Amino acid sequence: MAREAKKKEHESNSPWKPTRREDLEPKIRNLIKGFIKEIPSLPAHAHKLLDVVSSKESDLLEVAKVASSDPAVVTNIFKAVNSSYYGLSHRTNNLNFAIVLLGFNEVRKIAIQTNFSHALGKSWTYKGYTTRDLWEHSYMVSVCAETFGDSKDPRYSGELLTFGLLHDIGKYVLFKLAMAMQKKGIAPYKSAQASESSNILEREEAIFNINHTIVGSMLAERWNLSEKICSILEYHHYPSYWSIEAIPPEYLKDTAIICFSDLIVRRLTGEEKIPEPSKEYYKMFNAAPSSDNLITDERRIKIEEARKYIDFIQ
């Protein structure tokens, strides 16, 4: 297993290190596993959809066919196309027209987002952070990740888009965990030690003794998502804390793309920072250290457009 190949410590400059999956005490791991088991399985059509959006041969009509078998996806397609963003003079009820107008990638995003948020239940707010904030962030990260792909290889862009949309799905598990704790009147674990200046992963660990990367990959496994998706969810913050050798080579490039897309979106939207990866990660993209150097005009414009788009369709 690739995971066992990295027992060694591969440290980067950051003084604080997040807990890794292999560091978890068996007792905590079993507790979390038990909790994740309570989250419903993904519906069969969500798997079908992931297959279709990841297949090289799929075209818009095929995606439309699968997407249209799910009423919640169809509702969201119409919600998007009839929003003021598209400026249609009359509301349309024609699904084929709506799909052509939105385009392949947009339909993919709507279909994936609808399926996963549906499986995870209704929205929550926790300490001022909402599920809507999370989807907005994930949407922008997926748009940014696509720009690292190759326009001649739509399958790869589609994969990057999927990783971007799902990368922080572990935060949903933590939301659910927080709600369950609140319901039972359990005080969050070690909450007194969570300092205002610490970053998101540190605060998660101070509250839950675990972070969203671990629970995200555990949820992806429970949902039988591919090993690639599970691994990228698990490693997506590694570049901020560990050197290149800590990530299995087959997932390194995609993991770095998601990590950098996350940093770029944080930078452009003013979200809180997480540590910058070491220079070896920048070398992979021929850039000098600092995520600013990866903010191209194309990325800036696409993220800005994505932000406006979300405001229109929500």
Q: Which residues bind Fe ion (CB under 5 A)?
A: 168, 262
Taking the complex as a whole, the smallest distance from the CB of residue 233 to Fe ion amounts, in Å, to 9
Instruction: Please report, for residues 20, 210, 249, the alpha-carbon distance to residue 25 in angstroms, rounded to integers and kept in the order given.
Output: 11, 11, 26
The full DSSP string for 216-282 is HHHHHHHTT--HHHHHHHHHTTGGGTB-GGGS-HHHHHHHHHHHHHHHHHHHHHTPPP-PPPPHHHH
**Shortest Cβ distance from residue 134 to Fe ion (Å)?**
8
- CB closer to Fe ion, 36 vs 274: 274
Closest approach, Cβ 35 to Fe ion, in A, equals: 19
Dihedral over Cα of 68, 73, 78, 83: its sign: negative
Q: 12 vs 58, which CB is nearer to Fe ion? A: 12
Residue 30 identity (one-letter amino acid): N
CB nearer Fe ion, residue 16 or residue 97: 16
Nearest approach, Cβ of residue 77 and Fe ion (Å): 25
**Strand extents, DSSP E, 50-171:** 125-126, 129-130
- Calculated CA dihedral for residues 49, 52, 53, 56, nearest 10 degrees: 170
Q: Smallest gap, in angstroms, from Cβ of residue 65 to Fe ion?
A: 31
Residue placing its CB nearer to Fe ion in the complex, 70 or 168: 168
Q: How far is the CB of 184 from Fe ion (least distance, A)?
A: 27
Q: Which residue's CB is nearer to Fe ion, number 77 or number 144?
A: 144
At 55 the three-state DSSP class reads: coil
- The two tokens of residue 78 are 């119409």
CB nearer Fe ion, residue 168 or residue 205: 168
